[in-house]
Amino acid sequence: MTDPRHAVATERGRYYRDPAGGPDLISVTNALGSIAKPALVPWGAGLVADHVIGDPITTARRARTEPTRLRRELVALPTGNADRAKDLGTRVHERAMSLVLNTPYPADPEVEPYAIELARWFRLWRVDFDRDVEAIETTVLHRRYGYAGTGDLWVWLPTGPHGRRQLWLIDYKTSAKKPDTVVYGEQPLQLAALRHAPVLLLPDDTDGPAFKVRRTGLLNLRRRSHRLIEVPSGREQFRAFLAATRTARYLHNAPSAYPTILPDWAPGSPERKAA
């Protein structure tokens, strides 16, 4: 994802500033961060294991000579890898924008294979950018529920009866290693949040009505393949997303410490000190 104009990074994660002057709105991805992701633990452990197995002699030597530094580096491996993947995803999104808008983009050999696959997908579906693309990288708001998010692509595809066009909301997903069939449990909730937001932020920061999306999907982009996967984004998924926003807000506002309770006669008791 790109960095939307009104998005701000905070200690509690990404929030959006409301151009209309209301309270800040939690971002969709920030809200979904409150959902436990069990796969992250084995993924991180696998990165560390691969690193150690890749050069066991050097690792063993460093474990004897500089254990503190080695431990710090191994602990940082999952976070560093996740940051690199996020950066790649941002650059792929920026390249996708340049592809649709036909604007220049600096040479980026790491990104270009994904751009080639995206271009192949557009050709496969015979997408005419002027005729079929309704919007790209557009922010939507739901002030009633206090969230905002930015969608990747609203596009008309001939998926209805007799080839009739239907409006799709599509989210690009990139990965260097995962197969193009992968769908994570929270991703339908992300699309449900974007689909059900009633306000679309126009270029001049005024409100516009949201698009009436018919179907939602993930466009998994890989270096040598791509796959459009339709995912549900109805009321069930929207209710689950709203539950995640409530959980995230609670966690963001929860105190970092709570009072210790002791009986009156215990050493250190406030009542005993007062006496």
Is CATH 3.40.47 the classification given to domain 7-35+88-274? no
**DSSP H helices in 22-104:** 28-32, 40-54, 56-65, 67-101
- Would you say residue 175 has pLDDT above 70? yes
**pLDDT band at residue 5, thresholds of 50, 70 and 90?**
confident
- The answer for residues whose C-beta is within 8 angstroms of residue 132's C-beta and 6 or more apart is 155, 156, 157, 165
Asked whether residue 272 carries a pLDDT value surpassing 90, the answer given is: no
SS3 170: strand
40 falls in which pLDDT band (50, 70, 90)? confident
How far apart (Å, rounded) are the C-alpha atoms in residues 270 and 268? 6
What is the helix (H) or strand (E) element at residue 221, kind and residue range? strand 215-221
Domain ranges of the chain: 7-35+88-274
Phi/psi zone of residue 85: left (φ > 0), alpha (ψ -120 to 50 degrees), beta? alpha
The pLDDT tens digits for 125-156 are: 999 999 999 999 999 999 999 999 999 999 99
Contact in structure between 27 and 61 (CB atoms under 8 Å): no
9: part of which helix (H) or strand (E)? strand 7-10
Global confidence as pTM: 0.87
Across 44-53, 69-78, 120-129, which has the greatest mean pLDDT? Answer: 120-129
